Structure 1
Amino acid sequence: MHIVVDTDRCVGGGQCVMAAPEIFDQNDDDGTVVLLRADPPPDASAAVREAARLCPALAITLVEEEQ
């Protein structure tokens, strides 16, 4: 899985940080999403999916890797 965030769409809700704090953070200036790990470990996939689902602005896109 690869994560892409659209900071222009982000409204700074912080849902992603609450769901996956090891993957997402917030910019101190405007609260927008900061991606800490674009390629999260497999054990974080459930939390990352939850973060994307909870995002009110749909600013998180998950790109599944083909196997």
Structure 2
Amino acid sequence: MWRITVSDKCISSGSCVGLAPERFEIDDFEGRSHPTPADIDPDNAVLDAVASCPMEAITVVDLDTGEPIEA
């Protein structure tokens, strides 16, 4: 399992939503992206979203090892 987090550096560019719409949404109240849900099975679309984030605001961690997953 992986855990996705989005930091407050997020500027709501929407690239993550465009690449992995089942994994991210923009919260109108907070004005930034957040994962839906945070804990997921490995998903290459999430890695594409991590790589495309202009603010490098998305982090993915392997819940078994605690190690970050690199895009």
> How many angstroms apart in 2 are the aligned matches of 1:30 and 1:37?
17
- Identity percentage over the alignment? 40
Unaligned 5+ segments in structure 2 are 66-71
| Aligned counterpart, 1:20 | 20
Ranges of 4+ aligned residues in structure 1 off by more than 6 Å: none
| Aligned counterpart, 1:41 | 41
| More strand as a share of residues | 2
1:30-67 CA distances to partner (integer Å, 9 max, x unpaired)?
A: 6410221111223xx1000001110001110011232x
| Aligned counterpart, 1:55 | 53
Give me the CA root mean square deviation: 1.5
Structure 2 residue matching 1:18: 3-state secondary structure? helix
> How many angstroms apart in 1 are the aligned matches of 2:56 and 2:45?
16
TM-score with structure 1 setting the length: 0.80
| Aligned counterpart, 1:9 | 9
Unaligned 5+ segments in structure 1 are none
